[in-house]
A and B are shown apart, each in its own frame.
Chain A
């Protein structure tokens, strides 16, 4: 009887943990705890790098990170289900696709995408694709103006999914 009671306590706990995405394997990586925001490669609060001579002091992580990235985000203006819809992101004269993103995922959170090495300017070419077979081609300019200051739109590419695109892609 006690065993059954125990099972009745443990099993719902397992079900609940699965529902909220608790990783039973305990597999966090590389010293990284997902819930903890790391400030690797960010300046520490007490340091005030005043010149290029001490800029390295700004890097508190294990690596000097000089990689270019953009944040890709989808604004779901229609509020519909974006499952099965994708964006191919290309660059350069050859317009080679270097990234492919589920619109559903990108609408939930901004995705950091490493930029490729064939870029000729700040243009990125986005092709929206869906099950209908219809595609929408868009050119997005990565916002670089005034990026020296804190600018919430800097480095961000935001794709708007309106009703017209949504209907066409479905």
Chain B
């Protein structure tokens, strides 16, 4: 009997260990979703009240189990900055969470129990946008937060199973509530016989004023296959930049590029050396964003993406180079931000007639090193070259905050 007991115990332990130790990421993709909300005081399909963008990699242990994600959450639209939207985080598993605000200050870092809510902002318009005199705030004034999750190895998040397969619904990691001064509306829960409060769209489709279905031209006439029709329509739309340009000509919040290169977010697989979801000995997730004050100006860096692990090549002006006409006019060295994320780094000097050739989606940028020499490198359009004196490396950073 004792032998039988030992065999059972050992078998159980082996199975338990194999389910935890050998759990590896099997699947990943980059999320790039806009979550937009309608005004709950009306019953319509106008999802242009508030909007935020969620971008970054999601990792899965298998088709139905999520292991973690690294999201950048940025403002997309606040229709009227006097309106108050509260945003909380609600993670789908036990594990570790890291949330930081626009200045890379920690909102929450450490252990998390599934279902607990934590406050991201109690005033979305005030926190996710730089204050302007305008009532309506758009992505031109947007700031961004970061949100990372690593599920406990034994308890990954179980995904919803739809008719098409397992789906990770990114909007469910947030709880939205709107206060109009009289009532508080829970926007994460649909009211019976009303349209949902939330809509999800790709970032390369503009936010439209008015009925989202009419404005995007979504039609559905086949009853039970309606969802398939809508999904196919969207697929048709986003693979046709001309069609998106046509929507841009309508009543939209602001035009979007029909083809958007994602931010400097890369997929993150441990097998390829990515450690952005590796738990530190202190039991925390590594920061994905860091802030540094340079000449009294706060600059944010995306850690591990365009800062630490992936510094960009930069070279002295004497390196043979060719004209990059797109870059001219991008910088004048006065520290202004043009509102499109092309703010000028105080360390950046103006673009001269000398510029290296950059690949698709990249623009040449110039920065002075500690010896006053001009260094040239390539960054995405909304980033600028920054010279980090410590390791003597160049990095593409976002505009001055």
Contacts and interface: CB of A to CB of B under 8 A. Distances in A.
A68 B195 CA distance: 21
Nearest to B62: A105
Contact of B165 (A96, A104, A110): A110
A120 B27 contact: no
Interface string B10-22: 0110011001000
Interface in B203-231: 203-205, 211-214, 216, 218-221, 223-231
A43 B200 contact: no
Interface string A89-117: 10011101111111011101111111111
A27 B94 contact: yes
B1 A4 contact: yes
B239 A119 contact: yes
Interface in A16-53: 18-19, 23, 25, 27-30, 32, 34-43, 45, 47-52
A30 B158 CA distance: 9
Contact of A119 (B9, B163, B232, B238): B238
B5 A144 contact: no
A63 B196 contact: yes
A67 B9 CA distance: 47
A109 B63 contact: yes
B226 A49 contact: yes
Contacts of A62: 171-172, 188-190, 196, 198
A116 B262 contact: yes
A32 B227 contact: no
Nearest to B272: A100
Interface residues of B, number: 93
Contacts of A106: 27
Interface residues of A, number: 85
A65 B200 contact: yes
A25 B160 CA distance: 17
Contacts of A11: 5, 8-9, 12
Contacts of A112: 164-167
A121 B216 CA distance: 18
Given A32-B161, A36-B161, A116-B262, A144 B239 contact: yes
Interface in A60-74: 61-71
B234 A68 contact: yes
A104 to B, nearest CB: 8
B242 to A, nearest CB: 11
Task: Kindly name the residue among A8, A94, A104 whose own CB sees the greatest number of chain B CB atoms within 10 A.
Answer: A94
Q: Tell me which of B1, B169, B198 has the highest count of chain A C-beta atoms within 10 A of its own C-beta.
A: B169
Contacts of B189: 62
B29 A98 contact: yes
A155 interface: yes
Contact of A147 (B9, B93, B232): B232
Contact of A105 (B26, B160, B164, B234): B26
A77 interface: no
Contacts of A89: 29
B239 A40 contact: no
Contacts of A78: none
B160 A30 contact: yes
B231 A69 contact: yes
A117 B259 contact: yes
A96 B261 contact: yes
Contacts of B225: 149-150
Given A12-B8, A30-B160, A117-B259, A66 B26 contact: no
B234 A29 contact: no
B218 A61 contact: no
Tell which of A45, A89, A109 has the most Cβ of chain B within 10 Å: A109
Sort A-B residue pairs by CB-CB distance and give the 9 closest, nearest first: A147-B232, A99-B29, A11-B8, A64-B199, A117-B260, A32-B160, A117-B204, A18-B15, A102-B26
29 contacts: A14-B12, A27-B158, A29-B92, A30-B169, A34-B64, A38-B162, A39-B162, A52-B214, A55-B220, A61-B196, A62-B171, A62-B189, A63-B196, A64-B45, A64-B195, A64-B212, A66-B201, A94-B361, A97-B266, A100-B29, A100-B267, A106-B27, A114-B33, A117-B259, A118-B261, A142-B235, A142-B239, A147-B232, A148-B232
